[in-house]
């Protein structure tokens, strides 16, 4: 009987450990079910999308306010078209705001930072950021420095 109790205890412990690992993996990947509330879509066009990835964060003043939905090549302008889902709780972004690709730390992940403008009109579903700043390409900067350009 003691052996059976020990086996059940170890089994429950292993099951809880496995569930904890799955939970942590979902938290790190940003795929937590039910975490997505109501959002609206905005777009930005960049000359160089750098290392942006779908499900990457969109932040304002260091606070995450949305996620990147997709990154596609606009075949007419040959620019990267980035579609973002912004939380509806943040419905007061002025239309003259800028979307800037930034990097967390020196070699960290890239994300979109929204620099707030001053216009009275606000962005709505389907609007486009007209003021953007592309990713800083470290390899290109080093190459230009080395070649003296």
Q: How many CB atoms lie within 10 A of CB 112?
A: 26
pLDDT, one tens digit per residue, over 7-24 is 889 899 999 999 999 888
From CA 49, how far away is CA 45, in angstroms rounded?
9
Mean pLDDT (the chain, rounded): 85
Secondary structure of residue 53 in the 3-state scheme: coil
Res 148: pLDDT: 72
Tally of CA atoms within 13 A in the half-sphere of 46 that contains its CB:
25
Residue with tokens 């109501």: 38
Secondary structure of residue 27 in the 3-state scheme: helix
> Is 49's pLDDT higher than 60?
yes
Res 103: pLDDT: 85
Q: Which two tokens stand for residue 47?
A: 């000359």
Where does the pLDDT of residue 105 fall: very low under 50, low under 70, confident under 90, or very high at 90 and above? Answer: confident
Res 134: pLDDT: 79
Q: Is pLDDT larger for residue 144 or for residue 69?
A: 69
Mean pLDDT of 114-140: 84
Sign, Cα dihedral of 40, 78, 51, 70: positive
CA–CA distances in Å: residue 109 to residues 57, 112, 115, 123: 9, 10, 18, 26
């Amino acid at each position: 009987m003691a052996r059976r109790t020990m086996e059940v205890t170890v089994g429950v412990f292993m099951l809880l450990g496995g569930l904890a690992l799955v939970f942590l993996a979902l938290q790190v990947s940003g795929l937590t079910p039910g975490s997505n509330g109501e959002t609206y879509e905005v777009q930005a066009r960049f000359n160089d999308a750098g290392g942006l990835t779908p499900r990457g964060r969109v932040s304002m003043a260091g606070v995450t306010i949305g996620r990147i939905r997709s990154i596609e090549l606009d075949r007419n302008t040959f620019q990267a078209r980035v579609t973002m889902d912004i939380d509806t709780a943040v419905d007061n972004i002025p239309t003259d705001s800028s979307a800037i690709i930034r990097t967390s730390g020196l070699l960290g992940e890239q994300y979109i930072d929204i620099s707030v403008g001053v216009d009275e009109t606000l962005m709505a579903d389907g609007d486009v950021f007209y003021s953007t700043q592309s990713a800083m390409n470290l390899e290109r900067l080093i190459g230009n420095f080395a070649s003296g350009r």
